Amino acid sequence: MQPQSVDHAPVDFSPTEGPALSDFGASAMGPAESRNSEWPAETVATFLYARLHNFTSACELMSGKELTSFINEVRHILSDAVVKLGGEIAQRRPDSILAVFSNGPDAVKPDHAQRGLHAAILAVHEAVGLANRVAARPGAADLPAMTLAVGVHLGAAEVMPRTNGVKGMVHAVGEAVELARMLEVTATDLHWSIAASAATNLAAAGRAEKGRIGSLGLPDDSFIDIVEITGLRPRKGSQTPPRMFELLREAIAVNQQWRKRSASGTGAAAAALPGAHLLIEGYRVLRKIGEGGMASIFLADAGQGGPPQVLKVMRLDKTEADGLQRFIQEFALLEQVSHPNVARIFRQDFSLGHAYIAMEYFPSGDLAARLKRPLDQATAMDYLKQTAAGLGAIHAVGIVHRDLKPDNLMLRQDGSLALADFGVAKQVSMLITDTGVGDIVGTPYYLSPEQALGHPVDARCDLYSLGVLTHEMLTGKKPYHAATAHDLLDMHIHDPVPTLPATLAVFQPVLDRLMAKDRDQRYQSAQALLDDLRQRGI
């Protein structure tokens, strides 16, 4: 699909005679400097940074007057919409522009966000027309298509007239300027035409059409929400023909398609470099809620009107290969299971040098927080049965959790419980993260004897851990304590199963079987445990 445009001779790079900027409602306002000659040291404005990619390759096709004409045309494409929509140019290079849109202090309804997004959309349309003409030239077939990427951000920065008095030119420095530049990089990486901060889009009051969303991590570990701009909406009472707005949408879509085709081998590689910013497309990050050995944990809105989700995000350039394998495995294992007592997992993907998993959010926290004191017997047995049911579901598809503990049992607001954190789980048939003899995987307080010995494990090791957990739920204490991890492991291997207080004696036979040193003496499955509890009337 190509947007409608007027034909041009291959060597003619003069402005088109087709749809003009004024056809899309661009007013012929003068620069904001004429409305506000006394610039404050810091100005709240909308900053636009646009860069034409593959510009140098196009230049290599030309020479002499032809090249001069082409460079001038690029300059017009990058600056005309800015000027016509009342913006100032802060920096202009052959392939890029930084522009500022502002309102005077007396403006009743500031419209600089609308004008900034409007200019970005028009610039993409004009750039696509130019790229079509370049592509029609002899020798251009093997060149990557020229594409425009634009970042637009509303914020505060220092904006001052240039001392040389050049009309319509200003100096602009500050955080808002850098964010506009970062958004251009983000648009490039995501193959969007225009990336705008959500605040900019909100201030534009519906003037721009939006597509996908995301969250962009900043150097100070904060986030800004971003949106993809996909088109322009007509103003109320607009006389502009609807077809003109369709042309803008088409140009933005074509620009994106070309970007995807020409970006092979650049976006992902660049994003994986040290210092790459964190960006998760399709999610609005609400806050950071944790930090693990391999991953950072964020609470995020998936933008679909549903409940928040948890994002486990792992940075690729700081992760060993086996760590990435375990991270990917967690999703590969969990996506096989659909059970109310197993945490739901929604998506696994890669985004700008990071791998991430989107999972169910548990606002009520984990079981560890509830075990600061003993549970009543009814609650302890309810959690035992729910945990056993979850284990039965994962064991049925050949998954062994290997790290069952209160921290990995999550509570929902309705009182249900779910198994989570399968980072060291193993699917016996796949052997993705098989451990050698002597390797210990799991948490020492809850390890089975065979894990402590470094022996191969099966589903019965999870049942031993469930026995340890059962003791803790009933008594408020772990069954074994030692001064060192080595001594603690030795207790798991050799010490007898602890005796419960007389008031809890009814549960002793169950605990004895769960925590038997010889796994052949344990329940052979989670279902066998549930059947025994039912027969005992527990």
Separation between Cα atoms, residue 405 and residue 464, nearest integer Å: 11
- For strands 147-161 and 194-197, give the pairing: parallel
Cα–Cα distance list, 327 to 86, 180, 298, 418 (Å): 50, 33, 16, 19
- 131, 154 in Cβ contact below 8 A? no
153-172 in b/e form (b: 16+ CB < 10 A) is: bbbebbbebeeeeeebbbbb
Tokens of 358: 């989107």
Which element (helix H / strand E) includes 350? strand 345-350
Reduced to 3 states (helix: H, G, I; strand: E, B; else coil), residue 185 is helix
Q: Which residues pair with 159 in a beta bridge?
A: 172
Tokens of 111: 């419209």
Q: Is 403 a catalytic residue?
A: yes
Q: What is the DSSP string of 378-401?
A: HHHHHHHHHHHHHHHHHHHTTEE-
Specify the residue for token string 């020409």: 262
Phi and psi of 519, rounded to 5°? -65, -20
- 216, 185 in Cβ contact below 8 A? no
Cα 269 from chain centre: 17
- 150, 116 in Cβ contact below 8 A? no
Separation between Cα atoms, residue 147 and residue 46, nearest integer Å: 22
Separation between Cα atoms, residue 48 and residue 40, nearest integer Å: 19
Q: Other CB atoms closer than 10 Å to residue 411's CB: what's the count?
A: 18
Residue whose C-alpha is closest to residue 405's, from 419, 393, 416: 419
Considering only the C-alpha atoms of the chain, give the largest distance between any 2 of them, rounded to a whole number of Å: 99
Catalytic residue among 366, 403, 421, 462: 403
- 183, 196 in Cβ contact below 8 A? yes
User: Dihedral sign, CA of 92, 95, 100, 101?
Assistant: positive
Q: Could you give the residue numbers annotated as active site?
A: 403
